[in-house]
Amino acid sequence: MLVTSRVDHPDPTNEYEFVWTSLDADLADTDSVDDTFTFDPSGLEIGVYRIRATVTDADDTAFTDSDTLYIQVVDALPSPTELDSDGDGVPDIVDGLADSDRDGILDYLDPTPECNVLPQEVAFVDGYMVEGDPGVCLRLGNFSVSSELGGAKIIDGDIAGDDNIVPDPEATNIGGIFDFIAYGLPEAGQTLNIVMPQLKPIPANAVYRKFTPENGWVTFTENANNRLWSVQGEPGYCPPPGGDYWTEGLTEGHWCVQLEILDGGVDDDDGLVNGTIVDPGGVSVLFNGNTQPVATDDAVTIIVDESVTIDALNNDSDPDGDDLRITSATTTFGTVEVIGDTIDYTPPLGFIGEVIVNYGISDGNGGSDLGAITVTIIGNNPPEAVDDAVSIDVDQSVTVDVLANDFDEDGDSIRVVSAEASIGSVSVNPDNTLTFTPPAAFTGNAVVTYVIEDTQGGMSEGRLTITVEPVTVRIENSGGGGGSMNAALLILLAFVMILRRLSGAEKGSISVRVKTMNRTLIGGLASLVIIGAMFSSPIMAQQEEQDVFPDLAGKTQCLSKDDAMRLSQEHEKCVAKHFFVSASWGTASGDFKESDVQQEAANLGFDVFDINIDDTRGAWKAVIGTNLTENSFIQAGYTDLGDVSAAFSTTTNEPARFFSDTSEIRPTSVDGFTLSVAYQFLRKEDWFLHAHIGLFFWQGDYNSLDVFESEVLPKVADDDGTDLFYGVGANYRVQNNWAVTIEYERYDIDDNPTDLLSLGINYLF
C-alpha cells in the first residue's frame, strides 16, 4: 500500500525534508522515496495503525508541520450497493469508499460533508452532531476511529477492546464519551469551541472528564482559556458554537455542552501548540455510591386541538429510592411545559400526527436519564359498531348488550342513541342495552339497526341480527280413572262385618226369624252400596242353590240342610233370594296407536315425533248384586280402568296452541258406576259360566304436562258419558260361600273400546 504526502505552500518550488514515523511497530516503510510511505498490509493483524509525516522547510528548519494518518485494516472492504446509508440522497455505490472530508468516515456512511461537523454515530443522519467553530475541521480521534458506532462516540465495548484506553476509575459517564481531533485552526494557540449534544441531561454535580495517555482520566481544568458552557437545547439538537445564549458551567437539566479549549493548553490532549486539539472526554459524575435513575418511555394519544397533562414520572424509577424530578422537556412541534412532576403538552392548532416529547429526570445525587413521550394527535375517530347476532326461541324476548363488542379508538365512552327493528319491536334501555320482542308465532331473521355515538359526536351504525327459531316442545297427556286400591280394603271390611253378623246366629235352630235375617241383609247391602258408590271394578255374581220352602205370604224361610232333607218329600225345591259382593283386579288395554297420535296431530297442523304411548294398565272393580231368577241376576258396581298416557314432541312456532290443541290426544281410560244384568249357563256342581251386559256411567280426569319445563299445563275439561259394556266369565266355588271368578269385558267408551281381563273373588250371603 502506498501513502503519498501533499504539502501546500505558496512557493511550489520550495523543497522539504520528510520524516515518516510509524507509531505502531508493525508498520515499516519499504520504499526509499522521501515523500511516500509504502507498506504491505497482508501480514498485518486487523486493527488501526498510525503513520505520522513530519515536513520541514529545507531552507529554514523553524518551519515545520506534521500530520497523522489512521489506517484501519479489515478482513475485506465493504461493497457499497444502491442503498443510501447516509441519507444524503446519493446511492452508496456512487458515494464510494473515499473519505472526501477527511473525517475518518467513508463517504457512503458520512451524512455530513461539512468539515466542522462530525456525527456521534453514523446511524444518526439528523441530530446528535459534534460541531466545531466554522473554519475548523473535525475527524475521528485515536479511539473512535475504530468505534463500533462509526462516529465520534465510543462505548464500553470500544474501551474494552482497546489497550490504550481504560474505563474511568473515579467517575460515571452520563452524557456519552466523544473522541475527536480538531485540526486546521486558523492560528496556532487559539481557543476552539466544540459543541456536543448530550445523550442524557446534565446531572447535578456534573464534571467533564478527559482521557490522556500519560495521565489517564482527569477532570477538565477550567481557567480563563479553558471553560465549560451549557444551554438548554433539546435531545440531539444544540445551537452553534459561540453566542450569548450559552451559560458558563454545567447546568443541571441542560442538553447541550460547549467546550472552550486552548490549543496547546492543559486540556489539549496532544499538549502542542500546533493548530490541532485532541479531546477524548465527556460529562460525568464522580463516584458517590449513587445509582442512575431509569426513565421509561411513555405514549399517549389525544384528539386534535386537545392538550394533555402527562405524569411522566409514573413509570420512572430510581434503584436508590431517590426522589425524582423532571429537569427539562422539549419537543419539535407544539408547546411543552414542566409543571411540578407533570408535563403539559399542547399541539399546534389543527396538527395531526406524531410528536416526541423528550424529558430529562434527575435524582439530585448526580444521576439523570432521558425519557421520551410519544404523543399521537388524531382526528376524532367515530366509534366502531361491530355487528351482533343472537338466537332465541319463538315468542321469547331478548335483551342484548350491543356495546359489549363495540369500541372507540380514541377511548371515548359510547352510548346507543337509537334503534329500529325490521319486524317486531325494540327498545333502548337506560343501560344502553336493546330489548327485542318478535311478533307472536314469528320465526326467521329480524334485523335491528342501531346507532351509537361517542363523546365527540362521532356516530356509527351497527346491526343486531336476531334469529327466532321454532321451539321443540313435548307434551304428556295422562289420567283416566280416579279410584283407589283402598276400595278393596273396604270391601274386605264389609265381608268381615257380614261374617261376624252371620256367625252370631244359633247353628242348631230349625229356622231363622225373617225379621232378623232381613235386618242383616239390609245392613250388609247398605254397606256395599256405599262402597259401590265410591269405587269401581267389574262384577261377578253367582247363585247358591239351597233347599227352601216358600210361605203363603210370598216370603221364603230357608231351613238347615237336615230339616230340608226331612221335608224334601213334602215340598218342592225353591230358589232363595241371595246377595253377593265381588272384587276383581286385572289388566285393561285399548287400541290406541302411534298412527292415531300422528293423524290427530296432523289434523291440528302439527308434525309430531318421539311418540310414547302407555295404553296397557292395571284396573279394578267392585260389584254388589242379587239374583232375579235361578239363572239370572242384576248387579251394580264401580269400575276403574286405570291411568293411561301419551307423550309426543314437535318443533313449532306456536307452542301455546300446541299445548292447548293436543291436550286431548291420548288413549281413553275412565272410571264410573256400572249397572248390568247377567245370565249364568253351563252350570256344574262347583262352577258355571256367565255373560252380562249393562251401562257404564263414566267420567275421565286428565292432566297435561310440559315435559321439558316440568310444568303442569292448565287443566282441560273433564270428559263423561254413558256407554254399553259387556262381558263373559267363569265362576268356581272354592267353599260354600266363596268363589273365584275370571272375566273378559269390553267397554265401548265414545267408540274407543277398552278391554278388561280380570281375576276376582265373590262372597255369597
Section 84-106 average pLDDT: 87
Could you read off the pLDDT of 258-308 as tens digits, one per residue?
999 999 898 888 778 877 888 899 999 999 999 999 999 999 988 888 899
Q: What is the separation, in whole angstroms, between the first and last Cα of the chain?
A: 150
Half-sphere CA count of 242, side-chain side, radius 13 A: 5
Pick the range with the lowest mean pLDDT from 5-9, 349-353, 426-430, 551-555. 551-555
CB proximity list for 729: less than 8 A, separation 6 or greater: 540, 689, 690, 691, 692, 741, 742, 743, 744
Quick one: pLDDT at residue 496? 43
- d(Cα 256, Cα 261) in Å, to the nearest integer? 16
pLDDT confidence band for 188 (50 / 70 / 90): confident
How many other C-beta atoms lie within 10 A of the C-beta of residue 262?
A: 19
- d(Cα 33, Cα 22) in Å, to the nearest integer? 16
Quick one: pLDDT at residue 261? 94
Could you read off the pLDDT of 126-154 as tens digits, one per residue?
889 999 999 899 999 888 988 889 999 99
Q: How far is CA 264 from the centre of its chain?
A: 73
**Pairs from 163-166 (Cβ < 8 Å, separation ≥ 24):** 164/213, 165/211, 165/280, 166/216, 166/217
Quick one: pLDDT at residue 630? 83
How many other C-beta atoms lie within 10 A of the C-beta of residue 614?
A: 16
Which run of H or E residues covers position 685?
A: none
Quick one: pLDDT at residue 549? 32
Identify which has the larger pLDDT, 557 or 188: 188
What does the angle CA 12 – CA 13 – CA 19 come to, to the nearest 5 degrees? 90
Q: How far is CA 626 from the centre of its chain?
A: 82
Sequential DSSP letters for 86-100: TSSSS-HHHH-S--T
- d(Cα 41, Cα 395) in Å, to the nearest integer? 94
Return the exposure string of 207-220: e unless at least 16 CB atoms fall within 10 Å of the residue's CB, then b. Answer: bbbbbbeeeebbeb
- d(Cα 129, Cα 11) in Å, to the nearest integer? 38
Quick one: pLDDT at residue 577? 61
- d(Cα 122, Cα 144) in Å, to the nearest integer? 12
Residue 331 near residue 358, CB atoms below 8 Å = yes
Pick the range with the lowest mean pLDDT from 75-79, 185-189, 525-529, 746-750. 525-529
Strand 368-378 and strand 298-303: pairing? parallel
- d(Cα 523, Cα 533) in Å, to the nearest integer? 16
Could you read off the pLDDT of 430-461 as tens digits, one per residue?
999 999 999 998 999 999 999 999 988 889 99
- d(Cα 177, Cα 280) in Å, to the nearest integer? 7
Residue 622 near residue 491, CB atoms below 8 Å = yes
Candidates 589, 542, 549, 588; CA nearest to 568 is 549
Q: Is the pLDDT of residue 515 over 70?
A: no
Fold matches, 1-76 and 298-378: yes
Q: How many contiguous H segments (helices) and E segments (strands) does the chain have?
A: 7, 46
Pick the range with the lowest mean pLDDT from 13-27, 213-227, 532-546. 532-546
- d(Cα 101, Cα 395) in Å, to the nearest integer? 86
Assigned C-alpha cell, 223: 481557567
Q: Is the pLDDT of residue 428 over 80?
A: yes
Which run of H or E residues covers position 338?
A: strand 335-339
Pick the range with the lowest mean pLDDT from 59-68, 300-309, 383-392, 509-518. 509-518
Quick one: pLDDT at residue 517? 36
SS3 498: helix
- d(Cα 116, Cα 139) in Å, to the nearest integer? 8
The CATH H-level superfamily of 388-469 is: Immunoglobulins (2.60.40.10)
628 conformational bin, left if phi > 0, alpha if psi -120 to 50, beta if neither: alpha
Could you read off the pLDDT of 399-416 as tens digits, one per residue?
999 999 999 987 889 999
Biggest distance spanned by C-alpha atoms of the chain: 199
160 conformational bin, left if phi > 0, alpha if psi -120 to 50, beta if neither: alpha
User: Under CATH, what is the fold of the domain 1-76?
Assistant: Immunoglobulin-like (2.60.40)
Could you read off the pLDDT of 638-647 as tens digits, one per residue?
999 999 999 9
The model scores a pTM over 0.85: no
Measured in residues, the chain has a length of 765
Assigned C-alpha cell, 255: 442538553
Residue 45 near residue 68, CB atoms below 8 Å = no
Q: Is the pLDDT of residue 65 over 70?
A: yes
Q: Burial of 8 by CB count in 10 Å (0-12 exposed, 13-18 middle, 19+ buried)? A: exposed
Section 545-553 average pLDDT: 34
**Pairs from 129-133 (Cβ < 8 Å, separation ≥ 24):** 129/197, 130/178, 130/180, 130/194, 130/195, 130/196, 131/194, 131/195, 131/238, 131/240, 131/241, 132/182, 132/192, 132/193, 132/194, 132/195, 132/241, 133/192, 133/193, 133/194, 133/241, 133/242
Section 460-466 average pLDDT: 96
Section 186-207 average pLDDT: 92
Residue 73 near residue 45, CB atoms below 8 Å = yes
pLDDT confidence band for 672 (50 / 70 / 90): very high
Assigned C-alpha cell, 389: 347476532
Quick one: pLDDT at residue 494? 55
Q: Is the pLDDT of residue 519 over 60?
A: no
- State the DSSP code for 734: S
Phi, psi of 563 (to 5 degrees): -65, -40
Could you read off the pLDDT of 470-491 as tens digits, one per residue?
999 999 988 887 554 445 445 5
Phi, psi of 347 (to 5 degrees): -75, 165
Q: Which of 62-66, 577-581, 757-761 is most confident?
A: 757-761
Give the CATH number of domain 298-378; options: 1.10.1370.30, 3.40.50.300, 2.40.10.340, 2.60.40.10.
2.60.40.10
pLDDT confidence band for 28 (50 / 70 / 90): confident
Which run of H or E residues covers position 517?
A: helix 514-534
Q: What is the CATH number of domain 579-764?
A: 2.40.160.20
Section 100-124 average pLDDT: 88
Identify which has the larger pLDDT, 113 or 637: 637
Domain boundaries of the chain, sorted by first residue: 1-76, 114-287, 298-378, 388-469, 579-764
Half-sphere CA count of 432, side-chain side, radius 13 A: 14
Residue 178 near residue 143, CB atoms below 8 Å = no
- d(Cα 209, Cα 280) in Å, to the nearest integer? 9
SS3 514: helix
Quick one: pLDDT at residue 528? 38
